[in-house]
Amino acid sequence: MRTPRRLALAAAALALPFLAGSPARAENPATIGGDQLAARGVVVPAGAPALPATAAAGWVVADLDTGAVLAAKNPHGQYAPASTLKTLTAETLIPKLDRAAMVTPTWDDVNVDGSKVGLVNSVRYPVSELFTSMLVVSGNDAALALATANGGVGKTIHEMNLEAQRLQAHDTVAVNDNGLDAHGQYSSAYDLALIARAAMKLPDFREYVATKHAHIRGAKPHTAIAISSHDKLLYNYPGAIGIKNGYTVAARASFVGAATRGGHTLVVTLMRTNPRYWPEAAALLDWGFRATAAGASGVGQLVDPVDETQSTSSAAQPVPAQRVTKVATTQSGDGLPVMPAAIVAVGVLVMGSGVLRSRRRQRGKLKLPPL
């Protein structure tokens, strides 16, 4: 039996073709969105209401409709994203995977570290249940199973980084698809807002993140596992429409939340804050709605994606159905990785050609049609 170290080294060799193509962080990401967003401290428009006290190291309040950044603190500061990275995973994979396609997770998928929904590697799950599990209860096993459906972890990480580049989320580097702490994995409050804005243009994403309670199939026939959202704003904030929370010991709490009120839809992003994040998020959203009603000008802009016809890179093409070995990331007791998750491997089972498909992405002002 091969040791974990030998398996990890073998996986690293297999993953290199994917990882070599991942974009590096931009040298000056603070120019994205406007000069005022270069600030490391708080930036707020003149004449706006007084800001609430906050504990987050970085945060952004923005208008999802217009993309205007209403206020921010250290918006381009890079921090470990924890499970808020799953918003990028979902935004990358939802347009590629048929929600009705059936996926059988691998043994490594279901035995990943951290939060899990309880997938079983002898059960076939529809893609829609895997997205629900990943976004509602932050299932790391569901995130890896979606990578399985997409052709492997290495391929998925490569495509996530290309998608971050397309969105101009240049503070963001993905090393895994589930947000577990990994050396070299970063995002920023600005990028999380940018990714959220793109993701909320996808009707399936809006459906998943607004879900409070759901069921997924259990290990035995005709059984089900009940799940409930970890997003506290969905239960406590009028007009909340969800998105995603995250937490590890090293990253502390992170959060992306959105709400609609008075014809406006706002997003708030928090990085490196207290575990009881939702009162802070609620206070910033309240401030944002007051500032919007008062006609406060913004301090920056959530930029539009790079036009795909102008992009010099394109996502990797679907791979043929195959079965290869994948190594799970191991974690120490404090949540830090024993082995960098960038070498977590490659390939696994692709459940037939019906799993992969493409959709044209929407652009322009964000419209939120009814679910």
89 pLDDT band, cuts 50/70/90, is very high
pLDDT higher at 267 or 339: 267
Q: How confident is the model at residue 2 (pLDDT cuts 50, 70, 90)?
A: very low
- Assessment of whether the complete model's pTM goes beyond 0.85: no
| H or E element in which residue 125 lies | strand 125-126
Which pLDDT tens digit goes with each residue over 155-182? 999 999 999 999 999 999 999 999 999 9
Q: What's residue 308's pLDDT? A: 55
> Which residues are part of the catalytic machinery?
83, 86, 138
Under 8 Å between Cβ of 96 and 356: yes
As a whole number of angstroms, the distance between CA 114 and CA 330 comes to 10
Confidence class for position 210, pLDDT limits 50, 70, 90: very high
List the one residue out of 349, 81, 336 whose CA is nearest residue 194.
81
Instruction: Write out pLDDT tens, residues 295-319.
Output: 988 999 999 999 754 543 433 333 3
Is residue 363's pLDDT more than 60?
Answer: no
Are the beta carbons of 98 and 318 closer than 8 angstroms? no
Higher-confidence position of 366 and 91: 91
DSSP letter string, 153-183: HHHHHHHHHHHHHHTT-TT-B-SSSS----T
CATH 3.40.710.10 fits 4-25+55-305+316-353, yes or no: yes
Cross-strand bridge partners of residue 247 = 253
Structure tokens at 204: 């399936």
**45: nearest Cα among 304, 262, 295:** 295
What sign results for the dihedral spanned by CA atoms 57, 61, 64, 69? negative
Q: How many CB atoms lie within 10 A of CB 260?
A: 16
